[in-house]
Amino acid sequence: MNWKFINLATIVAVGVCSCGSNKTSSKMEITKEPFGTYDGQQVDLYTLANGQGVTLKVATYGGAITELWTPDREGVAGNITLGFPSLDGYRSEAFLKSGPYFGALIGRYGNRIGNAKFTLDGVEYTLAANNGANHLHGGIKGFDKVVWSAEELREKDAVGLKLTYRSADGEEGYPGNLDVEVTYRLTKDSELKISYKATTDKLTHCNLTNHAYFNLSAGKSPDVLGHELAILADKYTAVDAGLIPVGPEDVAETPFDFRTPHAIGERIGNDSEQLKNGGGYDHNFVLNSGGGKLSLAATVYEPLSGRTLEVYTTEPGVQFYSGNFLDGSLVGVGDVPYTKRYGFCLETQHFPDTPNQAAFPSTALKPGETYASETIYKFSTK
């Protein structure tokens, strides 16, 4: 199999959590409850508990992670991701207008495609221009805005949820029927695994990811500027004013040098055209691993809570986004207002605008091939 299509799942290893108390159950469980109705379809919310105190909530609308509870250094549980307690939040006018994609599955193509078009086998395909002149995160109705079919999984060492969706030929302008399978697994060893697979009946492009936002302080801090971030990347893809890559550049002697840990807010106000273009960090980092094998990509430490996040991936890039466009208009789980830079994203991926940039690792998927992807988000405390 071509390494381009190997992006292992997303695994999150965490410690004890009880979503508001310090009591835990030794039983691994998965439960379902109604979450709302969309487009004539029932939307469900699944709660996965691993018996070790870690709890994850996933909605079938967009496959969105709505809550993830993990402990701080004192063992006190807190919700470390951004989301809403009901479907109404994800369908509100304010959310749809601002488009933060909280916790959602992103496809067919994560990130931007320049001028909302690409050419395959001599045929030009026009996509929805939903981000200025560009195409972003699959279009107007990407995978984040569809209802996925769900199947509960109960395994020896994990509980899980397998989500499936068929993206029809021509949907949002993409060629080919794309059959997608995403599986969340919460293991007894406190790992959350998100596995991606896809097949097509026509040459197309595929670049799947999850758009989870994290605030490892779980509300102790009003923003993520104090989180200490390291990214194993000597280069990043510099962008133009529309955030389309103009080519890899060295991170050395720039605000993008996270090869050693720096607070997210340490250089975010630097007078840099690159930072101005994104209103802060919203850039793809070219991982030193090159992709194709599971490797450490980034680490994050939050001093107030002691929570630590390690990100491993087989993907060649990771998009670091510092929540620049959050503005307090959205109020999430626990009545928390999501103000500017309240959360950050580390979206493992192939590079933005790859369909139009031959020098980047390809995202083309052919009939007979299987796209597969795995990333690990591992949590601990210190």
Q: Strand 10-13 and strand 375-381: pairing?
A: parallel
Distance (Å, whole) CA 35 – CA 86: 6
Phi, psi of 378 (to 5 degrees): -115, 125
CB 323 within 8 A of CB 213: yes
b/e per residue, 199-219, with b = 16+ CB within 10 A?
Answer: bbeeebbbbbbbbbbbbbbbe
Distance (Å, whole) CA 311 – CA 66: 20
Q: Which of 137, 347, 350, 374 is catalytic?
A: 347
Q: Is the dihedral of CA 233, 239, 245, 246 positive or negative?
A: negative
Residue 158 three-state SS: strand
DSSP secondary structure string for all residues of 38-75: ETTEEEEEEEEE-SSS-EEEEESBTT-EEEEEEE-TTS
Among residues 345, 344, 369, 352, the alpha carbon closest in space to that of 316 is found at 352
Is 211 annotated as catalytic? yes
Is 227 annotated as catalytic? no
Among residues 258, 207, 226, the alpha carbon closest in space to that of 7 is found at 207
Q: Which of 135, 137, 205, 211 is catalytic?
A: 211
CB 14 within 8 A of CB 381: no
State the DSSP code for 216.
Answer: T
Q: Which residues are the active-site residues?
A: 211, 347
